[in-house]
């Protein structure tokens, strides 16, 4: 079923233009009715990030749930994974997050977590969306209406959940913490201080409009520069809703999600623990795969998107999975990405192994990797163009086992994303030049952007 509103990460758009209070009420009313019919207990927790539009949308969707007879707890400003934690704990059957994650402040979003702590099933979203227009919602009266409560205990519970993960003494590191003026601005620095870190805060002064604006996980060069300038041991950068995290070593070099997975696998092997595989994506760097092969760990590669990583982690029983962007899933801690938990795990790795962050960075050399965003009239159907299909196939054959080509259509824009990776810069550049020329000549493509991903985050 087509879903004009729900995308891969809930509903998202410019607040008060696309994502209006009216749309929030529709979404809340529809989700509440569908979940009630499926036997959900009528208890929801709603949290948000620091965007100015968050309160408006939280009040709108809260009123929809109350009108449907649900009891609603207001969790206030908290990282997205706190909602997953709260429903897994059994206090609620539905977690609602008002956030647009790493997007700019003008955007906002609504996403839902089910009783298992995972994002709500697509079939529930589709069923709910079918009720958006022309449906008369059930409206209880009198004692059938819901009630509200404040959720201070959820904040405290989530804090202790994170602190308990540091189940052994940690190095007393000097760390620069960049919270992107987002949802982790208060909780993350406090937690790290209580764990014995010397904390230097940046991006911890949200004003409702500066989320993700001048730093954070999507602009890691900020924490990289500060870590180097201040002679810190480690830099930590979260995105706006703190479900992802990347690092800087003491030399100011980026440690992204790929390098975290290398460190995680190294620790397991060092302790003699079983780790047959970890999960990355089709964008994971070839250097990571080569390194993991060398220590006897297979890199399984999912489609881009945290839900696909989570599914493959679950299917393969892997101890960790993630994306270059720093969205890491460690099933031992929960089924969703949690940036603060990722930071704790990385500090644990440094503490247990005695390694510096720079030594972790140097586990492998990244293979040269470039991503082209190519504008086309219609991103669908490129795989029906035989010239393009053959060109991709021939390029892959030419690279052999020393590189790869990945071509995929954007799910939201008329854009093709072409990633070329090779073990040498010369091979990458040669294949890139050929394939981009084919795309221009046979699909009318224009280069919107060209990004060297060799030492970057990915998308």
Catalytic annotation, residues: 101
C-alpha closest to that of 454 among 233, 244, 259, 231: 259
Q: Residue 405 and residue 393: Cα distance in Å, rounded?
A: 8
Return the residue matching tokens 């208060």: 186
Please enumerate in sequence order all residues whose Cβ is within 8 A of that of 270, keeping only pairs 6 or more positions apart, or say none: 352, 353
Burial class from Cβ neighbours inside 10 Å (0-12, 13-18, 19+) for residue 401 reads exposed
Q: Take residue 417 and report the two structure tokens written for it.
A: 């994303």
**Residue (of 8, 15, 1, 107) closest to 413 by Cα position:** 8
Distance, C-alpha 321 to centroid of its chain: 12
How many C-beta atoms surround the C-beta of residue 247 within 10 A?
Answer: 31
Q: Which of 417, 373, 286, 344 is nearest to 158 (CA)?
A: 344
Cβ pair 177, 227 in contact under 8 A: no
Q: Is 293 exposed, middle or buried (0-12, 13-18, 19+ CB in 10 A)?
A: exposed
């Amino acid at each position: 079923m087509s879903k004009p509103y729900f995308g891969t990460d809930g509903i998202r758009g410019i607040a008060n233009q696309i994502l209006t209070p009216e749309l929030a009420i529709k979404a809340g009313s529809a989700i509440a009715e569908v979940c009630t019919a499926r036997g959900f207990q009528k208890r929801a927790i709603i949290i948000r990030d620091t965007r100015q539009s968050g309160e408006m949308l939280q009040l709108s969707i809260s009123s929809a749930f109350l009108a449907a007879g649900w009891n609603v707890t207001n969790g206030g400003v908290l990282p997205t994974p706190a909602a997953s934690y709260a429903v897994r704990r059994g206090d609620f059957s539905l977690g609602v997050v008002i956030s647009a994650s790493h997007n700019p402040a003008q955007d906002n979003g609504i996403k839902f977590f089910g009783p298992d702590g995972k994002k709500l099933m697509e079939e529930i979203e589709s069923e709910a969306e079918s009720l958006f227009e022309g449906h008369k919602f059930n409206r209880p009266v009198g004692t059938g209406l819901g009630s509200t409560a404040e959720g201070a205990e959820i904040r405290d519970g989530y804090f202790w959940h994170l602190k308990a993960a540091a189940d052994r003494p940690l190095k007393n590191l000097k760390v620069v913490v960049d919270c992107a003026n987002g949802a982790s601005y208060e909780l993350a620095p406090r937690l790290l201080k209580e764990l014995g870190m010397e904390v230097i805060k940046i991006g911890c002064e949200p004003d409702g409009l500066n989320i993700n604006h001048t730093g954070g996980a999507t602009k890691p060069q900020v924490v990289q520069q500060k870590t180097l300038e201040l002679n810190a041991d480690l830099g930590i950068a979260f995105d706006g809703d703190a479900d992802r995290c990347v690092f800087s070593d003491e030399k100011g070099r980026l440690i992204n999600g790929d390098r975290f997975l290398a460190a995680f696998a190294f620790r397991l092997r060092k302790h003699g623990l079983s780790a047959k595989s970890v999960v990355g994506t089709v964008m994971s760097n070839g250097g990571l795969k080569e390194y993991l092969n060398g220590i006897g760990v297979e890199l399984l590669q999912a489609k881009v998107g945290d839900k696909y990583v989570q599914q493959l982690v679950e299917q393969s029983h892997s101890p960790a999975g993630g994306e270059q962007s720093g969205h890491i899933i460690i099933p031992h801690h929960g089924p969703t990405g949690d940036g603060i938990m990722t930071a704790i795990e990385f500090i644990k790795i440094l503490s247990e192994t005695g390694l510096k962050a720079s030594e972790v960075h140097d586990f492998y050399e990244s293979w040269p990797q470039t991503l082209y965003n190519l504008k086309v009239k219609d991103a669908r159907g490129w795989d029906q163009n035989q010239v393009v299909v053959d060109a991709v196939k021939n390029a892959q054959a030419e690279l052999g086992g020393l590189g790869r080509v990945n071509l995929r259509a954007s799910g939201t824009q008329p854009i093709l994303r072409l990633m070329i990776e090779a073990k040498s810069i010369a091979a990458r550049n040669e294949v890139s030049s050929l394939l981009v020329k084919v795309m221009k000549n046979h699909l009318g493509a224009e280069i919107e952007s060209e990004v060297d991903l060799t030492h970057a985050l990915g998308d």
